[in-house]
Amino acid sequence: MAIQRTFSIIKPDATKRNLTGQIAAKFEEAGLRIVASKRIQLTLAQAQAFYGVHAERPFFDELCEFMISEPIVVQVLEGEDAIAKNREVMGATNPADAAPGTIRKEFALSIGENSVHGSDAPETAAEEIAFFFSGLELVG
Ligand code: CMP
């Protein structure tokens, strides 16, 4: 497997509890390099656009309100098989199902307030990186 880039969000429940550094350390320990990073606060329109694929889900409004409730940290992670590796280190969406040692097992509060987001495929990784970062911000 080649070197890949993936997109990550450290979500409001985690930034609020001052867990940014501990979560970033999990990525680095897994061999992922943080090649871009910024702390931002989303507008409602931005959150709705980013999660547009979930617009018909019953939890969509709750998800968008949560994502604008506090700042988030958006990052680009790079490494061997980065998309799968990031999903492994994040753990299952629902922390109740997440494996020991994963970010969601250690830090997530619920299926909604689950501390991190990570891209699920190369196409979504490219789209999500481009949503938040310009080429000038991606130095490698
Ligand atoms: P994420 O990986 O960011 O992608 C979509 C998000 O929707 C997911 O993580 C969860 O935070 C959220 N989500 C998924 N299922 C539910 C649910 N049943 N209730 C509330 N939020 C959910």
Please determine, for residue 112, whether its predicted confidence score (pLDDT) is greater than 80: yes
59 ligand 1 Cβ < 6 A = yes
Please determine, for residue 135, whether its predicted confidence score (pLDDT) is greater than 90: no
**pLDDT (average), residues 92-110:** 98
- Catalytic pick among 47, 83, 117, 125: 117
pLDDT value, residue 76: 98
Distance 136 CA to ligand 1 centre (A): 31
pLDDT value, residue 33: 98
pLDDT category of residue 136 using cuts at 50, 70 and 90: confident
Distance 113 CA to ligand 1 centre (A): 8
Calculate what percentage of the chain has a pLDDT beyond 70.
99
Q: What is the pLDDT of residues 27-46, one digit of tens each?
A: 999 999 999 999 999 999 99
Annotation marks residue 117 as catalytic: yes
Residues composing the chain: 140
Atom of ligand 1 nearest to the CA of 9: 3
Please determine, for residue 9, whether its predicted confidence score (pLDDT) is greater than 80: yes
* CA 33/CA 134 separation, integer angstroms: 18
Please determine, for residue 97, whether its predicted confidence score (pLDDT) is greater than 90: yes
Whether the CB-CB separation of 115 and 108 falls below 8 Å is answered with: yes
Task: Report how far apart, in Å, the C-alpha atoms of 24 and of each of 19, 32, 50 are.
Answer: 9, 9, 22
Radius of gyration of the chain from its Cα atoms, rounded to whole angstroms: 14
Atom of ligand 1 nearest to the CA of 11: 3
30 ligand 1 Cβ < 6 A = no
